[in-house]
């Protein structure tokens, strides 16, 4: 299953769309790093759940389909994220599955690094 690919799109606050392909099993943070996506400040803590710069907003239908709910640490970090919504998650905590093919996530405008 390792080399299964899904397509996904990051939509930036200015409307720019970064379309990319990613491996099933990678997190959204892995995707940004591995594909060199230019999203300023994204993933500052490298997935250790101590920042909130990997905040993404999902569509409701995708949010509801996520296999795992946010753990307490993630929820605490999300509380510090700028522009929190009901369908917000941290990208480093979302692991891609095959049925997420075509996923579109929005990256909010202001990234708040909870460490600063
Ligand atoms: Fe820091 Fe996700 S990269 S919490």
Provide residues with CB under 6 Å of ligand 1.
Answer: 29, 43-45, 47, 49-54, 77, 90, 92
87-102 per-position pLDDT tens digit: 999 999 999 999 999 9
Q: How many Å lie between the centroid of ligand 1 and the Cα of residue 48?
A: 6
Give the whole-angstrom CA distance, residue 13 versus residue 65. 24
* Of 101, 94, 21, 24, the residue nearest 56 (C-alpha): 94
| pLDDT of 16 above 60 | yes
ipTM for the predicted complex comes to: 0.99
Owner of token pair 């230019």? 38
Atom of ligand 1 nearest to the CA of 46: 3
Q: Quick one: 102 exposed, middle or buried, by C-beta within 10 A (0-12, 13-18, 19+)?
A: exposed
* Of 14, 33, 4, 8, the residue nearest 107 (C-alpha): 14
37-90 per-position pLDDT tens digit: 999 899 999 999 999 999 999 999 999 999 999 999 999 999 999 889 999 999
The DSSP element (H or E) to which 89 belongs, if any, is: strand 88-90
Mutation test of ligand 1: which of 43, 78, 89 has the most ligand atoms closer than 8 Å to its C-beta?
A: 43
């Amino acid at each position: 299953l390792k080399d299964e690919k899904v397509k996904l799109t990051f939509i930036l606050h200015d409307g720019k769309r970064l379309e990319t392909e990613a491996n099933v099993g990678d997190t959204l943070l892995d995707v940004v790093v591995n594909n060199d996506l230019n999203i300023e400040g994204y993933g500052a803590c490298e997935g250790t759940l101590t920042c909130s710069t990997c905040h993404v907003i999902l569509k409701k239908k995708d949010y509801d389909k996520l296999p795992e709910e946010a753990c307490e640490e993630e929820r605490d970090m999300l509380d510090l994220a700028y522009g929190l919504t009901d369908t917000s998650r941290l990208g480093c905590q979302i692991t891609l599955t095959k049925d997420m093919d075509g996923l579109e996530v929005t990256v909010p405008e202001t990234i708040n690094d909870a460490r600063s």
